[in-house]
Amino acid sequence: MRLAIVLPWLGSFVPTHLSFTCHSMIGGAKTATLLLMHEAANRVHIPEACQSRGNVRVEELKDGGIAALHAQRILEGIGSTSDTQGSLQRKLELLFKLAPASLSEFKPAWGWVFSQYLHQFSHWTYTDADVIFGRLDD
């Protein structure tokens, strides 16, 4: 079993306590990987603990990439044409820019939205930036 723990991040401020979340992944080195998704323009500083931990994967998406993935998967789900993707993507980009916390409303769909990053995992879940993990390997 291999677990992916998905954490997309929006906004120009990466909280310093994210380093504790990343460091706590040491207790899941054998079974879990934290997938930290962020957009290039929004990154100020990714904590060293997130960059150096073997089971923390930092995925830098292009600007607007998180909104683009959500728009693509939503439109695929309803069978819509790609002509409307740009419009939906722009609306999601605006939403995520004005209210980054609104991204959390999509948590139940993240396994589907980020599926291209999850192929090597048998299970997935999501987390918040202020969660400290314990002994995930036990």
Q: Looking at the predicted structure, is the pLDDT value of residue 85 above 70?
A: no
Q: What is the pLDDT of residue 16?
A: 85
- Which tens digit of pLDDT belongs to each residue from 49-58? 898 999 999 9
Q: Distance from first CA to last CA of the chain, Å, rounded?
A: 12
Q: Which residues 6+ apart lie within 8 Å of 60 measured at CB?
A: 38, 39, 40, 43
Q: Which pLDDT value is given to residue 83? A: 65
Over 80: is that where the pLDDT of 42 sits? Answer: no
> What per-residue confidence (pLDDT) applies to 27?
94
